[in-house]
Amino acid sequence: QMKPFPKNFLWGSASAAYQIEGAYREGGKGLSVWDQFVRIPGKTFKGTNGDVAVDHYHRYREDVDLMAKAGLKAYRFSIAWTRIFPNGNGEVNQEGLKFYDDLINDLIAHQIEPVVTIYHWDLPQALQDEYQGWESRRIIADFVNYAKTLFDNYGDRVKYWVTLNEQNVFMQHGYSMASHPPAVTDPKRMYAANHIANLANASAIKYFHEHGYQGQIGPSFAYSPIYAVDAAPENQLAADNAEQLNSYYWMDMYVFGHYPTIVRNWQEKQGIAPEITVEDQALLENPLSHPDFMGLNYYQTGTVAKNDTGVGAAAENTSGKKGTIKESGVPGMFKNVKNDYLQKTDWDWNIDPVGLQIALRRINSRYNLPVLITENGLGAFDTLEADHEIHDDYRIHFLREHVKAIHAAIDDGLQVIGYTTWSFTDLLSWLNGYQKRYGFVYVDRDEKSAKDLARYPKDSFYWYKQVIASNGED
């Protein structure tokens, strides 16, 4: 007999403002770095952007109705900073505040718990222009002021707050792979900006804890547990390098308030270590700055081998043509290799449900925090049949195996608060356009068949409804 899922388990789905809302110049919204970035030719798949996205801004009631039909207990969404503060700071935009106020009320009216992400990558362009965004310590006060505005306005109804979504991803893509704004390749700048993001994150959490708001707050981290390619000790060591560099570097800071020694040492040797002041240290080590839960975005695991040859960074597969990914790694530390035991998606992401159980175990044993799984899902090509059905058995299979892995972790005795899949409706994939679909609800963006962005529940929608109704027994 397995331990059951907790009674109040948050079964849900997730999204992010830029990927669903559209209405990029409506409601007094300011422009974000993404509004600008997508206009640079060649940056996204066929130049796709979120100007209209799936028009959730105008159709949120229809979307919330569908969530209620699926029986969702929770919905994770992000707030566009530029709707609240069009310039990142200064005057509050009442129309923006009202949009999320209405959305939150609508969710609550349908007994859906709002899980609110404060920052999901859409930095106000004004702050990038004014002081280079995350590269300036001035962002700390602006971020806290923005977060405080949300706590003050929605804190009576919102009990789960996510500070930063995937800091590791937006930093690495923005300052190392140059595939997200501000699209530079400079590890020194990356680690410096990342340190400032840590200070902003810690300051917002501390503010929340010090001011008596009810609820829980934490970051969402994109964690891909790492395997060694085999039992050779050098490869095992490389796996440890990768784990420290890719993941513990971020999660240790959130929870312990310091960076892992070996990464710090490695950075110092290359002259790319961020500057840490005595005040920073005090803030970061203050228990009030530490999260109440770890948000986990889990998609896949990685497998590595030693890297003496100096293989460096590579771009990711954004075409959906399987097998087009290039070799990559960090010279002297590890290189990413194929795992012969795992199948891959069309975008070359490893499919590994057991890896989710491993992720939950590693977070538990290193940090001993409850985990809210804030993202997990399968990006795939879907086919809309003539009768508007979508037979996504591959997605059902993928999610079912991951639900089993969560159940196994719960049976291990680990505390998992909820599971918000990526995503509820189809939405924009940052670099892969609209063809890479994740939703339970198909959104018809095909210009030939429909211009109206009609919503059609997929087979997985009805499957998930069952899972929720049976509290994970499926």
Report phi then psi at 196, rounded to 5: -65, -40
Cα dist. 197→73, 121, 146, 249 in Å?
31, 12, 14, 13
Catalytic residue among 275, 375, 447, 473: 375
Q: Is 166 a catalytic residue?
A: yes
Contacts (Cβ under 8 Å, ≥6 apart) of 298 = 223, 224, 355, 356, 359, 373, 375, 376, 402
Residue 83 structure tokens: 């709707």
Is 16 one of the binding residues for ligand BGP (CB under 6 A)?
yes
Which of 68, 92, 169, 183 forms a contact with ligand BGP (CB under 6 A)?
169
Q: Is 375 a catalytic residue?
A: yes
Which of 224, 297, 357, 435 forms a contact with ligand BGP (CB under 6 A)?
297
The closest alpha carbon to 245, from 257, 224, 262, 270, belongs to: 262
- By beta-carbon proximity to ligand BGP, the closer residue of 222 and 330 is 222
Residue 62 structure tokens: 């229809």
Which residue has the closest beta carbon to ligand BGP?
Answer: 429
**Residue 16: CB minimum distance to ligand BGP, A:** 5
The closest alpha carbon to 17, from 68, 64, 72, 76, belongs to: 76
**Residue 379: CB minimum distance to ligand BGP, A:** 4
Q: With contacts defined by CB under 6 A, how many residues of the chain interact with ligand BGP?
A: 15
Which of 429, 439, 442, 445 forms a contact with ligand BGP (CB under 6 A)?
429
Is 179 one of the binding residues for ligand BGP (CB under 6 A)?
no
- By beta-carbon proximity to ligand BGP, the closer residue of 349 and 367 is 349
Is 436 one of the binding residues for ligand BGP (CB under 6 A)?
yes
Is 222 one of the binding residues for ligand BGP (CB under 6 A)?
yes
- By beta-carbon proximity to ligand BGP, the closer residue of 140 and 431 is 431
Which of 191, 298, 422, 464 forms a contact with ligand BGP (CB under 6 A)?
422
Is 165 one of the binding residues for ligand BGP (CB under 6 A)?
yes
- By beta-carbon proximity to ligand BGP, the closer residue of 48 and 125 is 48
- Beta strands 302-305 and 334-336: pairing type? antiparallel
- By beta-carbon proximity to ligand BGP, the closer residue of 241 and 297 is 297
239-242: list long-range contacts, CB under 8 Å, 24+ apart: 239/304, 239/334, 241/304, 241/330, 241/333, 241/334, 242/302, 242/304, 242/330, 242/333, 242/334
Which residues, numbered 36-75, are part of the site for ligand BGP (CB under 6 A)? Answer: none
Residue 49 structure tokens: 């952007």
Catalytic residue among 21, 113, 166, 243: 166
The closest alpha carbon to 307, from 278, 336, 265, belongs to: 336
**Residue 12: CB minimum distance to ligand BGP, A:** 15
Residue 177 to residue 169: CA distance in whole angstroms: 10
**How large is the C-alpha radius of gyration of the chain?**
21
**What is the binding site for ligand BGP (CB under 6 A)?**
16, 19, 165-166, 169, 222, 297, 375, 379, 422, 429-432, 436
Q: Which residues are catalytic?
A: 166, 375
